[in-house]
Amino acid sequence: MKNRNRNFNNSRHYIWIFLKYLFLIGILSSIVLLLLLGSSYQDFKSATRDGLNAKTALISALSATKTQNWSQAAQKAQEAEIDFSQAEKTLQKSRSNFTVKHLKIINSQVKDLDSLFSSGEILSHSLRALIPLAQNLDQIRSLSNQDNFQDLSTANKDNFLKTISSLGPELKNLKISLDLANSQLATIHHFGILWPLYQQIQDIRTKLTASSQLITNFSPLIKLLPAFSGTPETSRFLIILQNNDELRPSGGFIGVDAILEIKNGAIISLKTDDSYHLDMPASQSPKWNLKPPIILEKYLGVKKWYLRDANWSPDWPQSARKVVEIYNGESKALNKSTSYFTGIIAITPNLIADLIKFVGPLQVQGTTYQANDFQQLLQYNVEVAYKKQHISSWDRKEVVNNLMNELKLRLYQVPLKNWGNLLNIVEKNIVEKNIQIYFFNPNWENLAQKLQATGEIIKTNHDFLMVVDANLAAFKSDAVMKKDMTYTVLNKNGKIQANLQLNYQHQGKFNWRTTRYRSYTRIYVPLGSHLLSITGLQTNIANISTENNLTLGKTVFGFFFTVEPGNSRQIIIKYSLPKIIKQEIQDKDYQLLVEKQAGRRVNSLIVNLQFEPQENQHWSTTLNKNQVFKLNASP
């Protein structure tokens, strides 16, 4: 035992001696390193001091912008830019030192600091460049003593719109600067002199990426400002209100249309009309004889193609052109003047609900419309209540006009400082396809495509799926239909097969609003796919068809079915995918795009990839927007 204690004490003694020498060596190494660095050490201290001063100034500049103290913001942004620049120059001096130049570990730390200071200088300069524009917008508001756009004078409205339009080049430069700053920060090492700040740097990079993407998303919107504001020429839009409780291919039944005229940012006219006000007289006119698609003729019993059924294509550009053709064709047949439109805008009630949620409940004709009930309440008023109110069937939808104009007035009263929130609502509804826009001007249409607002069927060389329901004489039954989708791709004896399972559950009853569900449904899949089988349909009425739509670049399977209230139906469609998809799977490059039908409510979407045991993947999500699934990507 004594020997063990003696050995332990000896060992501890030698360890302490080793640690003392190690400590001395460390101190001596540090002294030698400082001697070798010489004046560069002072450069490091000076650069760090300037960098910290720059950081403080930049934070002060950002704080000043929040309080609209523009002179202080500009001054602090300039100070930050100067200090970051000085820190960079001082750091550059140290690079001539032999030790810094040739000792890799020191050189990499200097590079990290340089990247940080360079990013700060870029961001400070960008902020300083944007402050005059923000100040100009604020001054327009302040000088007019008004908080909302509607109450601005004509001159101030014009100045405001010109300032917004001038943001295009500045935003382009800002995006370049943000991306450059982000790339500089990306070079900073995880473990190094900036290790304590590494997570903060990553957070900044995330924000820079999001800001850059935001500029990308909204730059086309700024370029479209002349179209949306009616500057310098008056803009005239045909707005189509699509009721997705009665789902149709591009979003919903066209029960109401509206003509919107805008000049210099002011709405000079907004008038809605019942689509039957054109369709009913046109049905009696021998001058109107456009033949409808055979499916509409078969299941709706119509002999002519009317405005209310014009949106038969799920591709909005196609439907928009057909809407205008029928709108002007019926007008001409009735000896009414035809119209030229800047663009055609389709909206679903989801957009209106979001706007009501934003501005607050609307009071119209003694009724309060709120975001969560306006669609059903409005339907009740135009389908049932109008009779009790002694309103004629011809005028029953006048309430829609009153509702839209009240919403217009409330939106005009939104303070300019809240316009950012309004733009977020617009962006959300574009992504969810509650807003679809078609311009006849090809340049504007191209910009709308960049906004992803055109509602077109997307062309892709990858796997593709789009399910399109068309409610044909089933009242507003889509409001009570629960719809689920499961899509499975599997390798079956060397052939790639797709199995699509559609579940429809009718949760309604027979009443004024809902009835037996009747849908002609089309499945859009990659061009060259071959239908193998469909089960779950009533064979006597299914009317199964296959078409290669070369214009849209898709193969289309179509069929008709019904679901009784309280019942459900499961439909399974099996088809083989073209060889190009098999090649993608072999190349480990498989990708699936599931495109949302505008207005279609999907309770759940499940995607299964079953190529090889080690390559099985599963996703469970929703379909409130287009979804992309990639092989080996995280669910």
- Is residue 153 scored above 80 in pLDDT? no
Of 34-48, 137-151, 395-409, the least confident: 34-48
For residue 209, what pLDDT band results from cuts at 50, 70 and 90? confident
Structure confidence at residue 22 (pLDDT): 44
Amino acid at 530: H
Q: Within 13 Å, how many C-alpha atoms sit on residue 139's CB side?
A: 10
Interval 453-476: pLDDT, tens: 999 999 999 999 999 999 999 999
Query: How much is the mean pLDDT over the chain?
Result: 87
What is the arithmetic mean of pLDDT over 498-515?
97
Across 192-293, the runs of DSSP E, i.e. the strands, are: 235-243, 253-263, 266-274
CA neighbor of 228 nearest in space, from 241, 218, 216: 218
Instruction: Compute the Cα dihedral for 474, 480, 486, 487 and give only its sign.
Output: positive
Residue keyed to tokens 């389908």: 383
Query: E strands of 564-633, at which residues?
Result: 568-576, 591-594, 604-610, 617-621, 627-630
Output the pLDDT for position 23.
42
Confidence of residue 15 (pLDDT cuts 50, 70, 90): very low
Q: How far, in Å, CA of 102 to CA of 81, rounded?
A: 30
Query: What's the gap between Cα 316 and its chain centre?
Result: 17
**Does residue 35 register a pLDDT over 80?**
no
User: What pLDDT, on a 0 to 100 scale, did the predictor assign at position 460?
Assistant: 96
Q: Which pLDDT belongs to residue 132? A: 84
What pLDDT, on a 0 to 100 scale, did the predictor assign at position 44?
A: 67
Whole-number Å distance between alpha carbons of 472 and 253: 10
- What is the Cα 53 distance to its own chain's centre? 39
Nearest residue to 455 (alpha-carbon basis) of 470, 468, 474, 443: 468
Q: What confidence score (pLDDT) does residue 301 get? A: 96
Q: Check residues 27 and 413 and name the one with the higher pLDDT.
A: 413
Tokens of 206: 């995330």
Do residues 116 and 51 lie in contact, with contact meaning Cβ atoms separated by under 8 Å?
yes
Confidence class of residue 633 from pLDDT cuts 50, 70 and 90?
low
The predicted structure's pLDDT at residue 39: 47
User: Residue 184: what pLDDT?
Assistant: 84
- The model's pLDDT over 290-319, given as tens digits with 9 standing for 90+, comes to 999 999 999 999 999 999 999 999 999 999
Contact 499, 488 (CB under 8 A): yes
DSSP 406-469: HHHHHHHTSBGGGHHHHHHHHHHHHHTTSEEEEESSHHHHHHHHHTT-S-PPPP-SSEEEEEE-
Residue 99 has pLDDT above 90, yes or no: no
Of the CA atoms within 13 Å of residue 213, those in its CB half-sphere come to: 7
What CA–CA distance (Å, rounded) separates 222 from 276? 36
Q: What is the mean pLDDT of residues 215-225?
A: 83
- As a whole number of angstroms, the longest Cα–Cα distance in the chain is 121
Average pLDDT in the 116-144 region? 77
Residue 602 tokens, joined: 């999907």
Half-sphere exposure of 625 (CA within 13 A, CB side): 10
Q: Is 175 helix (H, G, I), strand (E, B) or coil?
A: helix
* Per-residue confidence (pLDDT) for residue 12, from 0 to 100: 47
Q: What number is the average pLDDT over the span 488-495?
A: 89
Asked whether 344 and 320 are in contact (CB, 8 A), the reply is yes
Mean pLDDT of 339-344: 95
- Binned at pLDDT 50, 70 and 90, residue 194 comes out as low
Lowest mean pLDDT segment, chosen from 111-120, 236-245, 547-556, 585-594: 111-120
For residue 634, the model assigns a pLDDT of 57
Helix residue spans in 145-249 (DSSP H): 154-165, 167-186, 198-223, 225-229
**pLDDT grade, residue 192 (50/70/90)?**
low
Cβ atoms within 10 A of the Cβ of 256, count?
Answer: 23
pLDDT at residue number 120: 82
Distance from C-alpha of 292 to C-alpha of 286, rounded to nearest angstrom: 15
User: What pLDDT digit, counting tens, does each position of 566-608 carry?
Assistant: 999 999 999 999 999 999 998 989 999 999 999 999 999 999 9
What is the CB neighbour count within 10 angstroms for residue 108?
A: 14
SS3 284: helix
Q: 16-30, pLDDT tens digit by residue? A: 544 444 444 333 333
Of 86 and 592, the structure prediction assigns the larger pLDDT to 592
Whether pLDDT at 279 is above 90: yes
DSSP state of 394: G
Task: Tell me which residue has tokens 């120059």.
Answer: 89
Q: Tell me the mean pLDDT in the region 27-39.
A: 38
Highest mean pLDDT among 57-61, 136-140, 430-434: 430-434
Q: What pLDDT sits at residue 218?
A: 73
User: What is the pLDDT confidence band of residue 247, given thresholds at 50, 70 and 90?
Assistant: very high
According to DSSP, residue 200 is labeled H
The dihedral of CA 34, 37, 41, 47: what is its sign? negative
